[in-house]
Amino acid sequence: MVAAGRHRAASPGQLCRPPAAGDRPFALGRVGPVALPGCRGDGLTHWPLAKAVPGRLHRSGVGGGSVRCRLTIPARINLLGNPSDGVEGDHATISAAIDTYAGAVVEPADGVVLELVTRTGEVLERQRLAGLPPYPYEGALDLLKGAVNRLYAYSPQLRRRWTERGGLRIAVWTEVPRQSGLGGSSLLALLTLAGLRWFYDLDPHLHNEYVLAEMCQRVEARELGITCGYADRYVPLLGGLVYLDYRGKLHQRPLGEEPFVTYERLDRWTPDLPLVVVFTGLAHDSGDVHGVMRCRYLEEHADCVRGARKPFLVDVMERVGGTAWRGKMALLRRDWVEVGRLMAENHRLVDEMMRYCGLPGGAGEVNNRLIEAAVELGALGAKLTGAGGGGSVFALTRPGRERELVEGLHAVAAGMGLTEARVWRPHVDRTGLRVEGAG
């Protein structure tokens, strides 16, 4: 999620590759179906990048003008348990990295140059920053500046090497639709953090993926005032289909004063999921939604701690978190019917919670209509990917019936007049962050 007005995103047409043959997703508002970027099995080209391996990227001469690296990172969906990822409750989620991507190029420069570009390199936003961090927040590229500011303040090693080796250019691109509920804003901050780690050859143990994920959450929550949890920050970096445990993280204390997320991979047993995603084309700001719900939740949680009868939100979020641990058992035995039932329960509880918190329409009329349509088309369950109001929904179907559901939901979206909607079949990305460097 991205706070409204902070960034100017590329249009869908700028971020999509040309159509390709094969089992392609659909996008509305164009002549016929077109390929949506980042979906494997659709005939599209994907970069063959090696996974970043901490401790194996050390090299000298970083600031000498001959070193350049490319990074890619996947988006995420929350299958079950959200929003109990340290936002409203500190319980658990089952989340997955999916093959829709953002990326960055990092290279030497005079000073600091931050850019938002299209996949083909067309510059959409650019800022050249003078002097040393911290840099002021001015709306444009604040996620990138927040990542620079936070890591610079945290890392003595970065401060030393910045002075020794000079500046850099970080150019980020994304094929994740803006405000789609797929964790797209976090990807830009994560790419910046990982790019700084690579470029300045920072100690990969002191600046490990857990630290970068936690730092990304602080960038959004503390630097930019965006209400958010932890799933969006861990899953893109580490990849896979995972069970995440957030116990002890409700109050979002400073780094080192609360546990890291416990990250348990499930894709050894269930390497992929039979899912279909629908991006409605309607923007939403999940920070606005969570800002309302988290404040109310913390008030009721404090009452509960003081001995009051368990309040509504505390009870609901315990049940939401329970869908994750039950779903873990169902996924391990590949009980798709039970996973679908739990998705429906998760969505019902969140919709009820949103209405209780005074959010008009709960999860959103359009989202709820698409979810109902997915079930009518044979989906085993469907729910929000993010915070509701716009964004995306996704549905679980039986393996082998994904394309049928894509076509059915494409027709439904068209009938609802969602001309900017996109419908596609995602796959689990089991790698997470990838870094390809050249020196």
Domain 275-424 has CATH 3.30.70.890: yes
CATH of domain 45-270+434-438: 3.30.230.10
User: Exposure pattern of 338-358 as b/e (b: 16+ CB <10 Å)?
Assistant: bbbbbbbbbbbbbbebbeebe
Average the pLDDT over 24-52 and give the result.
35
State how beta strands 167-174 and 112-117 pair.
Answer: parallel
Average the pLDDT over 70-83 and give the result.
97
- State the Cα–Cα distance between residues 308 and 315, nearest whole angstrom: 12
pLDDT tens digits for 244-275?
Answer: 999 999 999 999 999 999 999 999 999 999 99
Average the pLDDT over 316-340 and give the result.
98
pLDDT tens digits for 148-165?
Answer: 999 999 999 999 999 999
- Phi/psi at 100 (nearest 5 deg)? -120, 135
Report pLDDT for 49: 35
- State the Cα–Cα distance between residues 276 and 273, nearest whole angstrom: 9
Whether the per-residue pLDDT at 80 is higher than 90: the answer is yes
Q: Tell me the CA end-to-end span of the chain in Å, nearest whole number.
A: 34
Report pLDDT for 47: 33
pLDDT tens digits for 383-398?
Answer: 998 655 568 999 999 9
User: Predicted confidence band at 81 (pLDDT cuts at 50, 70, 90)?
Assistant: very high
Q: Which residues make up the CATH 3.30.70.890 domain(s) of the chain?
A: 275-424
Average the pLDDT over 182-194 and give the result.
96
Q: Which residues make up the CATH 3.30.230.10 domain(s) of the chain?
A: 45-270+434-438
Whether the per-residue pLDDT at 52 is higher than 50: the answer is no
Alpha helices in 244-376 (DSSP H): 286-305, 312-332, 336-356, 365-376
Report pLDDT for 400: 98
Whether the per-residue pLDDT at 238 is higher than 70: the answer is yes
Report pLDDT for 385: 85
Average the pLDDT over 110-126 and give the result.
96
Report pLDDT for 9: 36
Report pLDDT for 37: 36
Average the pLDDT over 73-92 and give the result.
95
pLDDT tens digits for 163-174?
Answer: 999 999 999 999
pTM value is 0.85
Residue whose C-alpha is closest to residue 156's, from 222, 214, 210, 202:
202
Report pLDDT for 209: 98
Mean pLDDT of the chain: 85
Report pLDDT for 285: 55
